[in-house]
Structure 1
Amino acid sequence: MATIKDVAKRAGVSPSTASRAMHDSPLISEETKARVKKAMTELDYSPNFVAQNLANQTSNTLGVVLPAREEDVGDNPFFIQIIQGLASICNAHDYLVSVASGQTSAELIKNIETMIKRGNITRFVFVYSQADDPVLEFVKRQKHVRYVMIGTPYTEKETLYHVDNDNYLAGYDAACFLLDKGYETIIYAYTDLAENVQNARFKGYEAAVTESGRKSQAVCFAATRADEKKDRELLQKALPKDVKKVAILACDDNLALALQHLCGLEEEAIAVMGFNNSALAKLARPALTSVEIFPRFLGSEAAALAIKSDTLKLESNAVIVPHKIIERESTKI
């Protein structure tokens, strides 16, 4: 196995210069960095992260913090796609990825504390945004720790870097898409408007529907599909009796697919649309129209911010990833 001395010899530099070049030191010329990288490739050299961590008291590891709600993660491919995006940037910068999870906030905090104290991890990405989050508050109190959030912070005083879509605009565009298709009534389905993402999408939907001269309507469904009978009763109550062209805009694909199943039990055809453009949306029958929010890009942008946040100078603390409507059979009249 090649060592840093082998790389230095091949590149014609000292081991210390090779090390600085690997870490993109501004003291090393671009020509020297290129020679070192070429030598690393030729020798198939991988940095010894353990040795670096012991020497520097830091870690070439990015901590990824999942929400302390197991069902949100296990049933939602959105988080897997985010982690894939995070990993792609970490791989390019010789970083490892370590995931922090827990069934409760207390358990999650304990895991993060271990990562900081024993693993010397100083960079974290939260893949969620939550009001009054004790986990985020714990990380904020730690010295020399950088963190980035995927999602919009709940408080205006929060100054941390964050990556998100413009969810208001996504909700607005989705509602306009359904209006342009000729749907007379559009119902917004959600599970918790206290969540920033769901609320922002609702506000965008509400603005578009109001501008069209129609009345907005929002219906809350359970976060889990434990009571299908209750959900069907809610759906039947929400559906207008004298309108034929009805569409449901759900806060995400998971809820959209559950409602699509319930709509299939109704006599009238009902269009359904979701957000996230998950793999399940493509496999549904009929295939689900959805708003693509590019979770891999959300992950890659967040990782880049977390790794390079000490050198970045942005006009804003926010990086906004665009969205795109993917039309499928579920909304075709």
Structure 2
Amino acid sequence: MATIKDVAKLAGVSPSTASRAMHDSSLISEETKSKVRHAMQELDYSPNFAAQNLANQSSNTIGVILPAREEAVGENPFFIQIIQGLASICNAHDYLVAVASGQTDEELIKNLETMIKRGNITRFVFVYSQVNDPVLEFIKQQKQTQYVVIGSPESDRDQTCYVDNDNHLAGYDATRYLLEKGFETVIYAYTNLDEGVQNARYLGYQQALNEFKLPKFPLELSNRVADEAKNAQALRELLKKVSGRIAVLACDDILALDIQYLWDLCEVDPSKIAMMGFNNSGLAKIARPTLTSVEIFPRFLGTEAAALVINKDKDTFKLDLNRVIVPHKIIERDSTRF
């Protein structure tokens, strides 16, 4: 296996110069960098990241923080697509990706402590945003840590780097889309309004209904499998209160599919109630009927978050702002075509 000394010898430079060239140091000429890169390619050399991290007391790894207590995280393609977007940028710039998760906030924080102390990881991306998050507060208190939030920060908004959709506008646009198709009652289904994205979409929903002077029908459901009967009962009770042409706007595609499953338990004809979700996941295309959804481009959210967190201590991307807003788009399918 080739070493940095082998690369330096082939390139005709010292090992220290080869190391600086690999790290794109401004002290090294482009001609020398080119020689080192060619030598690396010819020898099929890959840097020993672990050794570098120990020597530099820093890491080339980006920590990706998933929300705690979310049973559906592993099954939700939204998070997978974000990580794919993150990884594509990290790979292009010789950064690794490490995922932090936990069943509780305490377990997640313990895992992060290990990543920081033993892995020398100092840069993190939160793939969620929520009110009074102890995990975020823990990261803020750590010396030299830098972070980017995917979602709208609940505090220190002006000082926080973040990537987000305009979820308020997305909720508003989705609700207006349903109202303009002639649905007189629009139900907003959610699992946790403390979660920033769900709450922003709910506020947009409220704004659209206010403009049409129509009543609001929020529906809180659980994402726990054990609460299926409880969810069905909540849905039955709400349906007794509404009339006319009905549509359900779910906070994401996963919840929309859960509600489609509940129709049988509630003895509801799904062809009589429209359904719409968010994220435009692959599940929306295989649902029956296929699900109208709001595309929010999660891979793009991931790539932009990676660009921000890498750029925080060097001018790789030369970004002028500490926030990026990704657009959204309504994708119409059979669940609203009636």
| 1:18 positional shift | 2.4
Is structure 2 residue 6 aligned with structure 1 residue 18? Answer: no
| 1:130 positional shift | 2.2
Q: Verify the 8 A CA contact 2:71 2:223 in the aligned structure 1.
A: no
The one-letter code of the counterpart of 1:233 is Q
Q: Verify the 8 A CA contact 1:263 1:269 in the aligned structure 2.
A: no
Is structure 2 residue 227 aligned with structure 1 residue 220? Answer: no
Q: Which runs of 5+ in 1 are unaligned?
A: none
| 1:299 positional shift | 1.7
Q: Secondary structure at the match of 1:164?
A: strand
Q: Verify the 8 A CA contact 1:163 1:298 in the aligned structure 2.
A: yes
Matching residue of 1:133: 133
Please, which moves more after superposition, 126-135 or 220-229? 220-229
The one-letter code of the counterpart of 1:328 is R
| 1:295 positional shift | 1.6
**Cα distance between partner residues in 1 of 2:158 and 2:256:** 32
Matching residue of 1:284: 287
**Cα distance between partner residues in 2 of 1:169 and 1:52:** 45
1:317 to 313, 317, 322: 322
Q: Verify the 8 A CA contact 2:122 2:146 in the aligned structure 1.
A: yes
| 1:256 positional shift | 0.7
Q: Verify the 8 A CA contact 1:189 1:220 in the aligned structure 2.
A: yes
Please, which moves more after superposition, 65-74 or 33-42? 33-42
Q: Verify the 8 A CA contact 2:188 2:248 in the aligned structure 1.
A: yes
Matching residue of 1:330: 335
**Cα distance between partner residues in 1 of 2:243 and 2:139:** 53
Please, which moves more after superposition, 92-101 or 222-231? 222-231
Q: Verify the 8 A CA contact 1:263 1:270 in the aligned structure 2.
A: no
Q: Verify the 8 A CA contact 2:308 2:322 in the aligned structure 1.
A: no
Please, which moves more after superposition, 258-267 or 297-306? 258-267
Matching residue of 1:234: 234
Q: Verify the 8 A CA contact 2:185 2:246 in the aligned structure 1.
A: yes
Matching residue of 2:254: 254
Please, which moves more after superposition, 131-140 or 270-279? 131-140
Compute the RMSD of aligned alpha carbons: 2.2
Give structure 1 regions of 4+ aligned residues with deviation exceeding 4 angstroms.
Answer: 312-315
Q: Verify the 8 A CA contact 1:187 1:219 in the aligned structure 2.
A: yes
Please, which moves more after superposition, 46-55 or 226-235? 226-235
Q: So what's the TM-score if we normalise by structure 2?
A: 0.90
Matching residue of 2:174: 174
| 1:19 positional shift | 1.7
**Cα distance between partner residues in 2 of 1:148 and 1:159:** 11
Is structure 2 residue 301 aligned with structure 1 residue 298? Answer: yes
- Show CA shifts across 1:111-132 (max 9, x none): 1111111111111112221222
Matching residue of 1:122: 122
Q: Verify the 8 A CA contact 2:185 2:243 in the aligned structure 1.
A: no
Matching residue of 1:203: 203
Count how many residue pairs are aligned between Structure 1 and Structure 2.
332
Q: 1:37 and 1:321, CA in 2 relative to 1: closer, same or farther beyond 3 A?
A: farther
| 1:201 positional shift | 0.4
